[in-house]
Structure 1
């Protein structure tokens, strides 16, 4: 049995509508007050560290945490801010950026290459979080 849409189809659809940013350009936004970094990796992945100041939201909870009507809402999801989403290598954050776009977040950007590319570029990393 074949799926009507596989992950490659979903990624292609997402990439057709979302904005992307390089690690270098994302690093330039690190201190901007109107930007929020959102780490979509699982809790265990935080042992590698994270981008300084990033809010952690596992991908599986994104819709609940982003929606201001939800009791789980995280104020990091401010529609007035530019949201820079990332995961380990970019797949989950691509789909998350599309989901946020569909929810009405107009200033959402996926960081290409994810945390792996960030760390490999020598960009600042907050050390181990309490996992």
Structure 2
């Protein structure tokens, strides 16, 4: 099997996962049919996160998503629209593809990540 480059993987993810602008994601905050998912590492989340979001680091996503996985979190298979976010959008795009590959298709990733979230005038929760 030929090695695949990040550019290829990102193009594939972008073709499979819907993108949501930060401004639209801000409007979706508080919507009962939407769940925000932070795919960053714990040390990044400790610096601030979107209120009401759950933490599902990309490195553990398969184990958290799989119903037979050792770290399964039923929140990811809750029937809600998932809006994934990270620092800049790249990891959340790849995480969205992983979820799509695992059969979870109502997924979006936030373009520009938390930088765009803050630029849209939204705040982060800390603590």
Same fold by TM-score, threshold 0.5 exceeded? Answer: yes
Secondary structure, counterpart of 1:76 in structure 2: helix
Contact 1:79 1:106 in 2 (8 A): no
Cα displacement (A) at 1:18: 1.0
Cα displacement (A) at 1:72: 1.0
Q: TM-score, normalised by structure 1?
A: 0.90
Distance between the aligned counterparts of 2:46 and 2:61, measured in 1?
Answer: 20
Cα displacement (A) at 1:49: 0.6
Contact 1:38 1:85 in 2 (8 A): yes
Contact 1:86 1:93 in 2 (8 A): yes
Within-5 A mapping of 1:24-103: 24-103=23-102
- Unaligned 5+ segments in structure 2 are none
- Unaligned 5+ segments in structure 1 are none
Secondary structure, counterpart of 1:77 in structure 2: helix
Q: Which 4+ runs in 1 deviate beyond 4 A?
A: none
Secondary structure, counterpart of 1:4 in structure 2: coil
Q: TM-score, normalised by structure 2?
A: 0.92
Contact 1:79 1:105 in 2 (8 A): no
Deviations 1:4-46 (A, max 9, x none): 2111110011111110100111111111111110001111112
Cα displacement (A) at 1:71: 3.2
Richer in helix (by share): 2
Partner residue in 1 for 2:15:
16
